[in-house]
A and B are shown apart, each in its own frame.
Chain A
Amino acid sequence: MMSDFSFQRAKTPKEAVILLGLHKDNKVIGGGTNLLDMMKEGMTDSHEIIDINRMGLNKIIRNEDGGFLIGASVTNTDLAYHKEIEKHYPLLSKAILKGASPQIRNMATTAGNMLQRTRCYYFYDTATPCNKRNPGSGCPAKTGVNHIHAILGASESCIAVHPSDMCVALAALDAKVHIQGAKAEKIIPFVAFHKLPGNTPHLDNILAHDEIITGVELPANGFAKHHAYVKARERNSYAFALASAAVGYELNDNLLGDVRIALGGVAHKPWRNTEAEIFLKGKLPTKDNFRKAAEIILEGARGYGQNDFKIELAKRVVVRALEMAINNEVQL
Chain B
Amino acid sequence: MRENYIGKATNRVDGPLKVTGQAKFAAEFTTSGLLYGVVVSGEIAKGKIDSLDDSEALKVEGVHKVFSHKNRPDIIHYINKKHEDQDSPYGEHFKPFYDEKILFNQQPIALVVAETFEAARHASKLIKIKYSEEPFLTDMQIARLEAKKPDKGKMGWEKPKSRGDAEKSFASAEVKFENEYTTSINTHNPMEMFASTVIYHGPGKLTIYDKTQGVMNSLGYVCNIFDLKKDDVQVLSPYVGGGFGSGLRPQYQLMLATMAALDMKQSVRVVLTRQQMFSFGHRPGSINTFKLGADKSGALTSIYHHVVQETSMFEEYTENIASWSGVAYHCENVDLDHKLAHVNLYTPLDMRAPGAASGMFALECGLDELALKLNMDPIELRLKNFAVNDQAHFHRPHASNELKACYIEGAEKFGWSKRNSKPRSLKDGRKFVGYGMAGGMWEANRQAIQVMAAYNKEGKLTVSSASSDMGTGTYTIMAQMAADSFGLHIDQVKAMIGDSKLPEAPLSGGSWTAASLSHGVIFACDKLKKTLFDSAKGMKNSPLSKSTFEGSVFKEGWVYDKTDLTKKVSLLDILKHEKKDEITETDGENKIMGMIKQMPYSKNTHAAVFVEVKVDEDLGMVEVTKVVSAVAAGKILNPKTARSQILGGVVWGISQALHETNLIDHNFGRIMNHSLAEYHITVQKDVGNIEVIFIDEKDDVTSKMGVKGLGEIGIVGTAAAVANAIYNAIGMRIRELPITPDKLIRAT
Contacts and interface: CB of A to CB of B under 8 A. Distances in A.
The residue in A230, A232, A306 that gathers the most chain B C-beta atoms within 10 A of its C-beta is A232
Contacts of B663: 121, 145
B121 A320 contact: no
B621 A3 contact: no
Contacts of A121: 663, 665, 672-673, 678
A127 B667 CA distance: 13
A147 B663 CA distance: 10
Question: Which secondary structure characterizes the binding site on chain B?
Answer: loop
The residue in A122, A144, A145 that gathers the most chain B C-beta atoms within 10 A of its C-beta is A145
A125 B125 contact: no
A133 interface: no
B115 to A, nearest CB: 15
B670 interface: yes
Given A147-B742, A309-B742, A316 B680 contact: no
A184 B121 CA distance: 41
Given A2-B122, A237-B685, A238-B683, A232 B741 contact: yes
A156 interface: no
Interface in B658-689: 658-659, 663-665, 667-668, 670, 672-675, 677-678, 680, 682-686
Contact of A235 (B619, B659, B742): B659
A128 B669 CA distance: 11
Contact of A313 (B430, B658, B659, B741): B741
Contacts of A127: 41, 43, 105, 668, 670
Interface string B108-125: 000000000010011001
Contacts of B418: none
Contacts of A125: 670, 672, 674
Contacts of A6: none
B684 A230 contact: no
Interface residues of B, number: 38
B620 interface: yes
Contacts of A42: 125
B741 A119 contact: no
Given A128-B668, A234-B659, A235-B686, A313 B675 contact: no
Contacts of A84: none
A2 B118 CA distance: 7
A143 B668 CA distance: 11
Nearest to A122: B672
Nearest to A230: B619
B201 to A, nearest CB: 32
Contacts of A306: 742
A2 B121 contact: yes
Contacts of A319: 618
A143 to B, nearest CB: 6
Contact of A236 (B623, B674, B745): B623
A188 to B, nearest CB: 30
B547 interface: no
Contacts of B659: 234-235
A216 interface: no
Interface in B672-725: 672-675, 677-678, 680, 682-686
B745 A234 contact: no
Given A1-B121, A309-B746, A124 B675 contact: yes
Contact of A233 (B125, B621, B674): B621
Interface string A287-315: 00000000000000000001101101100
Interface in A164-182: none
Interface string A1-43: 1111000000000000000000000000000000000000010
A122 B670 CA distance: 11
A312 B745 contact: yes
B346 to A, nearest CB: 16
B672 A235 contact: no
B162 interface: no
B740 interface: yes
A124 B740 CA distance: 23
A230 B623 CA distance: 16
Contacts of B673: 121, 145
A317 interface: yes
Interface in A156-213: none
Contact of B667 (A1, A143, A232, A234): A143
Contacts of A238: 677, 683
Contacts of B619: 230, 232, 313, 316-317, 320
Nearest to B125: A1
A140 interface: yes
A100 B51 CA distance: 42
A108 interface: no
11 contacts: A2-B118, A121-B673, A140-B668, A143-B667, A144-B665, A232-B619, A235-B686, A237-B685, A307-B742, A313-B619, A317-B619
